[in-house]
Amino acid sequence: MTKEIREYFVCANAAQGFVSYFPQAMAKMDRVYILKGGPGTGKSTLMKKIGEAARKKGEITERIYCSSDPQSLDGIVLSGRKTAVADGTAPHVLEPSAPGAVEEYVNLGVAWDSGMLASRKKEIFSLKEQIAKRYDRIYRLLAEGKTIHDKIEDIYIENTNFARINEIAESLAEEIIGPGSGTGASTDRFFGALAPKGSINFLEALTEPIAARYFIKGRPGTGKSTLMKTIAEAAQQEKIDTELYHCAFDADSLDMVILRERKACIFDATAPHEIFPCREGDILIDLYQEAVRPGTDERYASDLERLDGEYEDKIRKARGLLKEIKTLHDRLEEIYIGAVDFSIIEQITADLMEDMGLL
């Protein structure tokens, strides 16, 4: 027996800096196993084994990926039993709310050779410093990119009929929203990330099980995020629980709202996560056609081309630094891998799975 897998991020390297919804995600759990250990000590592998064992037992598993390295997991959530296993190391350190009663530390550090690591202390500190400096540069580049992107938005804001946007939002709310049976709680996440190999997202996988999918097309500044915030607020007022997926570049902006109780979702279907309707129940709403002054693209073509080029240059440089960070982090992992007794990690994994009833 297998069940649905949900994949997403709760952290992002954004224009605002490092943004984390990790504490919020864990606060909803009755039981949280917090993994402690260095890079390369098997945290992600342990969580993948937990998730796969739970999936085979028929549980819905939620895989929380690392935004800097989407091949690696930051957490596993078993929502049916309100249990999670999470990487509690920097930059998303988790502080327990009720140690022992809710959170349990799992120390993978018992498996490493401290003497061997001590002999490479200078190298470890050097690599960590090089990584930190590159993250600082990334956040500066993304902030500069946001300033440029705001100028693009300003062009479209000046040419958008927001009264029409509000009409569309109200009409959609009437169509989608009804009395709910939840609490109106919201959960903040990201469905994508700027990764070393480029932008990555789980948009199609997350929306695949949802019956009614609303594809929002438009340009920057044409009200896509505002429309989704209106839908989310209307749902929350009706006690419908909402999943809010923020933009991984600008965390203040929304890219998707999922209303599982209503079997509906509404999302920004433009680049870098551009997809098109492909099945029954898919609905396309083009805000550019609906509410933007005709000819705006053509009228400002020269300015838009210049600004787009400047923006893409900032993103390209940030991505290049992420590649460098990945290389440096791999070197850091190699140091720890060479100092870890993985037979101990395997035993810790087996003990944890037994404690969770997954063996």
Share of the chain above pLDDT 70, in %: 99
Residue 176 DSSP SS3: helix
Q: What is each CA distance from 79 to 46, 183, 205, 210, 259, in whole angstroms?
A: 18, 16, 18, 18, 16
Share of the chain above pLDDT 90, in %: 93
Mean pLDDT of 12-26: 96
The token pair that represents 349 in the structure block: 């994994």
pLDDT at 230 > cutoff 90: yes
Which residues lie closer than 8 Å to 230 by C-beta, 6 or more apart? 166, 169, 170, 173
pLDDT at 213 > cutoff 90: yes
For strands 11-14 and 17-20, give the pairing.
antiparallel
Mean pLDDT of 344-355: 97
pLDDT at 2 > cutoff 70: no
Q: Residue 139: which region, alpha, beta or left (left: phi > 0; alpha: psi -120 to 50)?
A: alpha
Q: Which of 202, 218, 220 is nearest to 258 (CA)?
A: 202
30-58 residue pLDDT tens: 999 999 999 999 999 999 999 999 999 99
Q: Say which residue the tokens 């509404």 belong to.
A: 266
pLDDT at 258 > cutoff 70: yes
pLDDT band at residue 93, thresholds of 50, 70 and 90? Answer: confident
Mean pLDDT of 205-214: 96
pLDDT band at residue 197, thresholds of 50, 70 and 90? Answer: confident
Q: What is each CA distance from 298 to 156, 159, 269, 271, 319, in whole angstroms?
A: 12, 12, 22, 19, 30
Provide the 8-state DSSP code for 308.
H
pLDDT at 1 > cutoff 70: no
Instruction: Supply the pLDDT for residue 359.
Output: 81
CA dihedral 199, 205, 207, 208 (to 10 degrees): 150
Distance between CA atoms of 190 and 193, rounded to whole angstroms?
7
296-349 residue pLDDT tens: 999 999 999 999 999 999 999 999 999 999 999 999 999 999 999 999 999 999
Q: Would the pTM of this model clear 0.75, i.e. be above it?
A: yes
Q: Say which residue the tokens 């949802």 belong to.
A: 210
Q: Where are the beta strands (DSSP E) in the chain?
A: 5-8, 11-14, 17-20, 31-36, 61-65, 73-78, 83-87, 103-107, 186-190, 192-195, 198-201, 212-217, 242-246, 254-259, 264-268, 282-286
Which residues lie closer than 8 Å to 339 by C-beta, 6 or more apart? 112, 113, 116, 117
Task: Give me the residues paired with residue 217 across strands.
Answer: 286
Q: Say which residue the tokens 């996560």 belong to.
A: 273
Residue 251 DSSP SS3: coil
Instruction: Supply the pLDDT for residue 179.
Output: 84
The answer to whether the CB of 34 falls within 8 A of the CB of 94 is: yes
Mean pLDDT of 95-121: 95
Instruction: Supply the pLDDT for residue 273.
Output: 95
Distance between CA atoms of 302 and 276, rounded to whole angstroms?
28
The answer to whether the CB of 7 falls within 8 A of the CB of 65 is: yes
pLDDT band at residue 3, thresholds of 50, 70 and 90? Answer: low
Instruction: Supply the pLDDT for residue 125.
Output: 98
Distance between CA atoms of 133 and 126, rounded to whole angstroms?
11
